[in-house]
Structure 1
Amino acid sequence: MDTYLEKGSSYGEILEGIKSCDPDGAVCCTDEPVFNLAKVVLVKEKLVGITLQLVDEQGYATRQVTSKKPSDDQPSDSHLSTRQTAVIRALEKVLQHCKKEGIKLIGYSDELVAMPVVVSSDDVSPAVALDIDTHGVYFGADSVINNNDNI
């Protein structure tokens, strides 16, 4: 569950909001000065694993930061850059929102589709499945194993 900070929140109110946030949620605000002060709170209080979002009037995140320890940047054997890792974390957040909204993602060979969780596996059809535009970054495991030229 996300925690929302009021416009004009003080340092103490922000700290209280962060500490009361659900571990799977985010701390959200609609006010840029509050967002900036919340980033300061995260650093000064050394709070790790907190996602802070600046959201617009419709509730969409326009800016997001997640606090972490400096040593948590990435494993030494990772081939992803820090920026690529941040993109993966953002994708994970989107997938978490899908779960909250009752959407499941299903891979069909080299296609990815979304459908409501209330649809049983026996009822999967193009009528209930929405194709996801993966922009060419999603590949089914069979195509990756059988043909490395696609990647």
Structure 2
Amino acid sequence: MTELRNLKPNKFDRIFNGFAKRLTKIGIGLAGSQNLAVRGRKSGEWRTTPVNPLTLRGERYLVSPRGHTQWVRNMRAAGGGELRLGRRVEPFTAVEVEDGAKPEILRLYLKKWAWEVGRFFDGVDARSSDEKLLEIAPGFPVFRISARG
């Protein structure tokens, strides 16, 4: 089984994420990116990071390509957050997806965004077997999100 991952951003990641965050703040999503805002589990303050929301069969998902990061821990505690693009703010609730349901989600995520996040998947790509995707699933949290009404 794959160990729980928490890959810290390197210098390139910080520069790229800062750029993506600024673009989404003014309303330009880089390849569909949006800013995820979630309340800190300890501070209660809003924390933001760029994410790539994914739609599969009418359901929307957030995948953490860097593993069990701070935003993942905050999302688990808060049970939701906001997706922001420019002035548009979309509140949502989030439910974590079980590992057994992740292969199809991870496959589509890698198909769409491997150019950006593929290096975090250690050689696993959209063509990998379901067995391989199941093997790595514990290291990549996935949340199904629904608009909060």
TM-score computed with the length of structure 1 as normaliser = 0.26
Q: Which has the higher contact order (CA 8 A, sep 6+)?
A: 2
The normalised TM-score by structure 2 is 0.26
